[in-house]
């Protein structure tokens, strides 16, 4: 029952399990396995097999579910959908408009594709940061459209708030705490602000037209 020997930690059950840690220790000390990423991938599935034998559900590893590589791509389905979104953004930019938000969207889906193809600390941070930048860019464009009749000072103040929020979260992602759940919550919060912006715009149009 090796899979039951899991120490208490904030990390995922899978990567902290006894069988996974034993595999990693042996793997990294073996000359034939000199690639840490390949070692972790092999040990992940060895640990999953041990969990299956103990009748336990498949655990997460480093906060993520294990996925089988295809042609070296770590998350094939996610990478494919990210690539399709990238093409959609590119088509929209070339066909309809040249707004900044669509350019930022292309960058976001590019890094999403890279991250789901090859997961490293760098590509993960670039994916999260680019996605947040896309959300903030949409908020900025929406805010400027709502304030298009206002003075330049009001627009500058509003833009400063948006920019400060982006820089603050970007700093946290890159240099301090880096958490998937926290990042999702902040993106959802910005999304709610955008939704309220849209609702207020619709109400204004209805009652002022």
- Rounded Cα–Cα distance for residues 63 and 10 (Å): 10
Residue 73 φ/ψ, nearest 5 degrees: -85, 125
Cβ(69)–Cβ(38) under 8 Å? no
Q: Enumerate the domain spans of the chain.
A: 1-66, 76-207
Cβ(63)–Cβ(12) under 8 Å? yes
> pLDDT in tens for each of the 209 residues of the chain?
334 343 434 467 777 777 777 777 766 544 434 467 778 777 888 888 888 888 888 888 877 788 888 887 888 888 899 989 888 888 777 665 556 667 888 889 999 999 988 888 888 889 999 999 998 988 888 888 888 888 889 889 989 998 998 898 888 888 876 667 778 888 888 888 878 877 776 666 555 55
Q: Let me know the angle formed at the C-alpha of 105 by 72 and 91, rounded to the nearest 5 degrees.
A: 90
Q: pTM for the complete prediction?
A: 0.68
């Amino acid at each position: 029952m090796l899979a039951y020997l899991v120490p208490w930690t904030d990390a995922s059950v899978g990567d902290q399990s006894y069988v996974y840690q034993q595999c990693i220790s042996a793997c990294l000390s073996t000359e034939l396995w000199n690639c840490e990423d390949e070692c972790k991938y092999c040990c992940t599935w060895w640990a999953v097999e041990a969990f299956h034998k103990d009748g336990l559900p498949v655990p997460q590893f480093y906060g993520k579910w294990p996925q089988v590589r295809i042609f070296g791509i770590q998350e094939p389905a996610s990478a494919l959908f990210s690539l399709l979104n990238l093409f959609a953004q590119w088509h929209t930019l070339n066909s309809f408009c040249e707004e900044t938000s669509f350019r930022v969207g292309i960058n976001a889906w590019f890094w999403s594709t890279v991250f789901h193809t090859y997961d490293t600390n760098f590509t993960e941070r670039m994916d999260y940061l680019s996605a947040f930048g896309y959300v903030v860019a949409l908020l900025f464009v929406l805010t400027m459209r709502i304030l298009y009749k206002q003075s330049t000072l009001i627009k500058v103040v509003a833009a400063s708030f948006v920019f400060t929020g982006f820089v603050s979260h970007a700093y946290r992602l890159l240099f301090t705490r880096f958490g998937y759940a926290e990042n999702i919550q902040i993106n959802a919060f910005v999304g709610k602000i955008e939704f309220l912006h849209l609702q207020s715009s619709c109400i204004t149009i209805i009652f002022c037209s």
